[in-house]
Structure 1
Amino acid sequence: MADSTLRTIEAPFVALGPSGVAIRTSIKGMSQRDRKVLPLVGAHLGSLACADLKARCRAGTDHDSDQWAERKRALTQESSSRWAGSITKATHDQWSLSRRAQLAHIHNLEAGVHTIAHRLSQPVGEKGTKRAPGGYRTKQEWFQKTRRLHVLEDRLERERSDRDAGVVHVARGGKQLARNRHNLEAAQLGEYEWRRRWDAERWFLQADGESGKRFGNETIRVSSDGEVSIKLPAPLAHLANAPRGRYVLDGRINFRHRGEEWADRVSANRAVAYRIHLDVDRGRWYLTASWTIPPVQTVPLTVARANGLIGVDTNADHFAAWRLDEHGNPMGDPRRFFYDLDGPATYRDAQVRHALTRLLHWARREDVSIAIEDLDFGAKKTREKHGRRKQFRKLISGMPVAKLRARLVSMAAALGITIVVVDPAYTSRWGAEHWQKPLSSKNRKTTRHDAASVAIGRRALGHRVRRRTAPPPHDQSDRVGHRTAQAGHGTRGREETRPRFPGPRTRSVSPNAARTRVTSASTTVRDAPVDQFWVQDSLLLTD
């Protein structure tokens, strides 16, 4: 009888390819005048962006197209029509992102309140199950959790009221950097260093592209030979060194990655969005170009399964992968691609990128697809869910599953590799139950993660995670073990016993259907003398 408490497992699907491209390069050969003009332009436009974001947040959910047009007209007087369009669009994107983050925070608070309320309803010391937590250990802990429940309920009520009123809390420049101002020693920053970072983060130097215009962008124009020019705002028009209020930088850019693709778009006057920003630590200015691309044509799921695939289990420090054939049988040995998530963000990103590159190169050599889990730890990072398991909470919080999947899909699309996404439910549990021990041997130790990769691959292929059931251990026609191999869905007789082939049972001699040997009745003489012996003759069946 099936367990009714198990949740429904979603069907696997082929992941869509990336919908956009972003490339970055440094601006080289900048003059002192360039380094003076860019901060002035960025600071002026940044102040306009702050005022526009304040106006948008004040409007809340009552905002309409008329208010948008009014805001844009006010910004146009202080900058230009194109700069005003870029600022208002960036404001709306930031407000929408804050609304989505607010809703996720509400769901997180609801999960915490539900968990604490359930545990408080249980007797003190009550043991929990695998699917439901028990009571708290001591009366002191129970009392502390009652106080925390009131705190979370107050927060939840406040967040719900803010959402109903359309109120969001946004800090241009980042909430973490804003909080560092009140604790500079812990952030290991001086006041001057913090101010430089804060100002640079609040500058606004980005503009969306427009197809049909020269080089695909009239506000920040980049020619195919690397010349960068900016349309100056009206109050800073006196800084122009080119006609029509433009400033041409002395520095030049050169895209090494996707440079030819970018040059083709610029030459055809197709839309390209640009962003100029300063890296305060390095003291370098960078330019980021981005544009949309048509969604990559995905192959049907049956085609992705045709040659088998590679099941990949994502872990805190490595990818566990195993190659499976089209019938779901593991082939060869498992592979592990390690990475380190300790250290700065650039180091972590390089580690993940290197591990994904090795995985994708292996998949390309095998000419197969890759199966991954649709992981989302958003509702599983709360301390109410895992209690005192601080190390486990830290473990799953440090896994960048969303960024990892996006990067894998993007890199796979560039190599023409298909990504199949499966439901992550019970893959580790059932993989260890059905595959870890059978795949272990004296020379190979199969881990729980390796077994989970097999479960992921089998689910992507449309097979059950468990192996085929073995026959009874003392069946005369079939011995134990032969049904553990996976056969295709269309194979006839896949659940039947093995056919009986005529010939010697040892199979050392090829069977001969034209001649069947039978034995006569035994001529053994009981209690015969020692010097006598017996011979068992065979009779031939003739016509």
Structure 2
Amino acid sequence: MANSTLRTIEAPFVAPGPSGVAIRAGIKGMSQRDREVLLLVGAHLGSLASADLKARCRAGTDHDSDQWAERKRALTEESSSRWAGSITKATHDQWGLARRAQLAHIHNLEAGVRTIARRLSQPVGEKGTKRAPGGYRTRQEWFQKARRLHVLKGRLERERSDREAGVVHVVRGGKRLARGRHNLEAAQLTEYEWRRRWDAERWFLQADGESGKRFGNETIRVSCDGEVGIKLPAPLAHLANAPRGRYVLDGRVGFRHRGEQWADRVSANRAVAYRVHLDVDRGRWYLTASWTIPPVQIVPLTAARANGLIGVDTNADHFAAWRLDEHGNPMGEPRRFLYDLDGPATYRDAQVRHALTRLLRWARREGVSIAIEDLDFGAEKTREKHGRGKRFRKLISGMPVAKLRARLVSMAVELGITIVVVDPAYTSRWGAEHWQKPLSSKNRKTTRHDAAGVAIGRRALGHRIRRRTAPPPHNQSDCVRHRTAQAGHGTHGREETRPRVPGPRTRSVSPDAARTRVTSASTTVRDAPVDQVWVQDSLLLTD
């Protein structure tokens, strides 16, 4: 394969640590009045948030700071200045997310249009290659895809016009839940259950933190002993049971995870943002606390490579990992960390978290870093690219690569483990080509995923994935070990056989002082640095 057909491979880098922390705990011991007050406050602020989002979407790209201030003043009359600030900030975040999703959808449509147009231009039944699909199988399929091409072009034209006009389509509460109202039987919900979920998703009970204010938040205040107080909006001030229009819940909250960090921030009056939400299925109220953290000092890439690392290949049901030394040589046996991504989101999250915990514990025992691919299947999920491969499309769509990488980085920071991110290009293909067969034996069956883990680790270490030329057998050279050491990429003759030494090379011939070298001491450098090769002095001849 010509080098011109290969895409550029990005250099590996050390993944930065998380910039924020979020913890959640249930509110225990709530009274019936607490629930009624939270329902009223959430519904009132939710209606204001919906109206504000509508106004923001109507303004489009022509929105400016004056319009923002005008919207905030209108919201202040119906709530408070702090509630208005939280609502407008959440509105702008949601509008920005919708714009980014709109651009990603446009790119997806463009990829589909290009793929269908190319396949339509080829003869029916034309075979494709590994890099590009061929023509469609039958004339009927060609006709159906020609119709779909017109549909995609129409969608693409509408999306482009909406983006130029600054129009976005946002549903507070979620489009999936909104569509479920029209088919309750398929959603396995009754009308009452759907209404409860819809209302809970559209409530607004979140407030940004403020440094210097008491307990770090003036709107939703949580004391060190777990007492929760809420600043009521102006129309609901008559429900207050505390001074200055505040309502203090009878329930209490206690954070087990990172509880000490949260208590330190609250006691020092540092900013902490809170969100109160209802889990309709469990019937429980939860409080989520979040705050920003200073950036973690990134370890240099050379330091992360010092003791070798663990190359990890991400798959649909397991992590395939292999320990490599600093020279890129596999050590020990490969390991697999299984998980199951079938089931509800909570189950999938627990499965991935458990697998990552075992992987990180192994890395901590070995005292090495972890290398992982920078996967992104955004352009790989279209049915136009993979055709009838529905199982494969479902497979890659179910892999939460972005969430998995973020969770791995956040968990690794707590254990002091460095994560090295590499380009995923050709790791599975080249790993299987160069490492799967050599690493297989009678007692070990090396899979394609194990070999991909070796390829990922070698790329993170700065080595080429391709293995070096196998050394000559025993008794045809003085030793085999000298070819297993790594050499720099530019070293002359590093892939060649050793220079021939004059004289017989078998043990059956008696030594001849005139034609053999002295074997009393070897001058070959075995543990040479990475950028050096073995060195041998000139031959010593006897008298």
**Residues 432 and 537 of structure 1: CA distance in aligned 2, closer, same or farther (over 3 Å):** closer
Distance 1:238 1:325 in 2: 68
Q: Give how far 1:538 is off.
A: 25
2:533 corresponds in structure 1 to 533
Which secondary structure state, in structure 1, belongs to the residue aligned with residue 86 of structure 2? Answer: helix
**Cα-to-partner distance string for 1:459-484 (whole Å, 9 max, x where unaligned):** 00000001012368899658989635
Which secondary structure state, in structure 2, belongs to the residue aligned with residue 291 of structure 1? Answer: strand
Structure with greater Cα Rg: 1
Distance 1:527 1:372 in 2: 28
Q: Give how far 1:431 is off.
A: 0.2
Q: Give how far 1:367 is off.
A: 0.3
**Cα-to-partner distance string for 1:246-280 (whole Å, 9 max, x where unaligned):** 00000000000000000000001000000000000
Distance 2:537 2:98 in 1: 92
Q: Give how far 1:530 is off.
A: 60
**Residues 310 and 65 of structure 1: CA distance in aligned 2, closer, same or farther (over 3 Å):** same
Q: Give how far 1:3 is off.
A: 2.5
Note if contact 2:41-2:236 (Cα within 8 Å) is conserved in structure 1: yes
Distance 1:265 1:129 in 2: 59
Q: Give how far 1:185 is off.
A: 0.2
Distance 1:278 1:447 in 2: 46
**Cα-to-partner distance string for 1:432-453 (whole Å, 9 max, x where unaligned):** 0000000000000000000000
2:205 corresponds in structure 1 to 205
**Residues 515 and 270 of structure 1: CA distance in aligned 2, closer, same or farther (over 3 Å):** same
**Residues 542 and 261 of structure 1: CA distance in aligned 2, closer, same or farther (over 3 Å):** closer
Note if contact 1:313-1:449 (Cα within 8 Å) is conserved in structure 2: yes
Report the TM-score, using the length of structure 1 for normalisation: 0.91
**Cα-to-partner distance string for 1:196-248 (whole Å, 9 max, x where unaligned):** 00000000000000101110000000011100000000000000000000000
Note if contact 2:312-2:322 (Cα within 8 Å) is conserved in structure 1: yes
**Residues 43 and 14 of structure 1: CA distance in aligned 2, closer, same or farther (over 3 Å):** same
**Cα-to-partner distance string for 1:131-177 (whole Å, 9 max, x where unaligned):** 11110011100000000000000000000000000100000001100
Q: Which runs of 5+ in 1 are unaligned?
A: none
**Residues 252 and 491 of structure 1: CA distance in aligned 2, closer, same or farther (over 3 Å):** farther
1:117 corresponds in structure 2 to 117
Note if contact 2:309-2:368 (Cα within 8 Å) is conserved in structure 1: yes
**Residues 523 and 307 of structure 1: CA distance in aligned 2, closer, same or farther (over 3 Å):** closer
**Cα-to-partner distance string for 1:486-523 (whole Å, 9 max, x where unaligned):** 34679998556558899996799999999979999999
Note if contact 1:322-1:335 (Cα within 8 Å) is conserved in structure 2: yes
Note if contact 1:519-1:538 (Cα within 8 Å) is conserved in structure 2: no
1:36-185 correspondence to structure 2 within 5 Å? 36-185=36-185
**Residues 484 and 191 of structure 1: CA distance in aligned 2, closer, same or farther (over 3 Å):** same
Note if contact 1:503-1:511 (Cα within 8 Å) is conserved in structure 2: no
Distance 2:24 2:372 in 1: 29
Q: Give how far 1:46 is off.
A: 0.2
Distance 2:220 2:258 in 1: 19
**Residues 515 and 260 of structure 1: CA distance in aligned 2, closer, same or farther (over 3 Å):** same
Note if contact 1:523-1:534 (Cα within 8 Å) is conserved in structure 2: no
Which secondary structure state, in structure 2, belongs to the residue aligned with residue 264 of structure 1? Answer: helix
**Residues 520 and 362 of structure 1: CA distance in aligned 2, closer, same or farther (over 3 Å):** closer
Note if contact 1:477-1:497 (Cα within 8 Å) is conserved in structure 2: no
Note if contact 1:318-1:337 (Cα within 8 Å) is conserved in structure 2: yes
**Residues 15 and 312 of structure 1: CA distance in aligned 2, closer, same or farther (over 3 Å):** same
Note if contact 1:228-1:252 (Cα within 8 Å) is conserved in structure 2: yes
Distance 2:117 2:16 in 1: 40
Note if contact 2:525-2:536 (Cα within 8 Å) is conserved in structure 1: no
Q: Which moved more, 1:511-520 or 1:365-374?
A: 511-520
Which secondary structure state, in structure 2, belongs to the residue aligned with residue 4 of structure 1? Answer: helix
Note if contact 2:338-2:355 (Cα within 8 Å) is conserved in structure 1: yes
1:191 corresponds in structure 2 to 191
**Residues 251 and 509 of structure 1: CA distance in aligned 2, closer, same or farther (over 3 Å):** farther
Distance 2:448 2:35 in 1: 55
Q: Which runs of 5+ in 2 are unaligned?
A: none
Which secondary structure state, in structure 1, belongs to the residue aligned with residue 331 of structure 2? Answer: strand
**Residues 347 and 526 of structure 1: CA distance in aligned 2, closer, same or farther (over 3 Å):** closer
**Residues 514 and 417 of structure 1: CA distance in aligned 2, closer, same or farther (over 3 Å):** farther
Distance 1:528 1:248 in 2: 70
Note if contact 2:488-2:532 (Cα within 8 Å) is conserved in structure 1: no
Note if contact 1:318-1:339 (Cα within 8 Å) is conserved in structure 2: yes
Distance 2:263 2:353 in 1: 26
**Residues 228 and 500 of structure 1: CA distance in aligned 2, closer, same or farther (over 3 Å):** same
Note if contact 1:520-1:539 (Cα within 8 Å) is conserved in structure 2: no
**Residues 541 and 323 of structure 1: CA distance in aligned 2, closer, same or farther (over 3 Å):** closer
Q: Give how far 1:2 is off.
A: 4.0
Which secondary structure state, in structure 2, belongs to the residue aligned with residue 372 of structure 1? Answer: strand
Distance 1:242 1:249 in 2: 10
Q: Which moved more, 1:207-216 or 1:514-523?
A: 514-523
Which secondary structure state, in structure 2, belongs to the residue aligned with residue 248 of structure 1? Answer: strand
Note if contact 1:116-1:149 (Cα within 8 Å) is conserved in structure 2: yes
Q: Give how far 1:389 is off.
A: 0.4
Q: Give how far 1:351 is off.
A: 0.2
1:377 corresponds in structure 2 to 377
Note if contact 1:517-1:538 (Cα within 8 Å) is conserved in structure 2: no
Which secondary structure state, in structure 2, belongs to the residue aligned with residue 196 of structure 1? Answer: helix
Distance 1:530 1:445 in 2: 30
**Residues 472 and 80 of structure 1: CA distance in aligned 2, closer, same or farther (over 3 Å):** same
**Cα-to-partner distance string for 1:73-101 (whole Å, 9 max, x where unaligned):** 00000000000000000000000000000
Note if contact 2:513-2:541 (Cα within 8 Å) is conserved in structure 1: no
Distance 1:446 1:456 in 2: 15
**Residues 508 and 282 of structure 1: CA distance in aligned 2, closer, same or farther (over 3 Å):** farther
Note if contact 1:520-1:537 (Cα within 8 Å) is conserved in structure 2: no
Note if contact 1:310-1:369 (Cα within 8 Å) is conserved in structure 2: yes
**Residues 123 and 249 of structure 1: CA distance in aligned 2, closer, same or farther (over 3 Å):** same
Note if contact 1:224-1:266 (Cα within 8 Å) is conserved in structure 2: yes
Identity among equivalent positions (%) equals 91
Distance 2:263 2:531 in 1: 102
**Residues 507 and 346 of structure 1: CA distance in aligned 2, closer, same or farther (over 3 Å):** farther
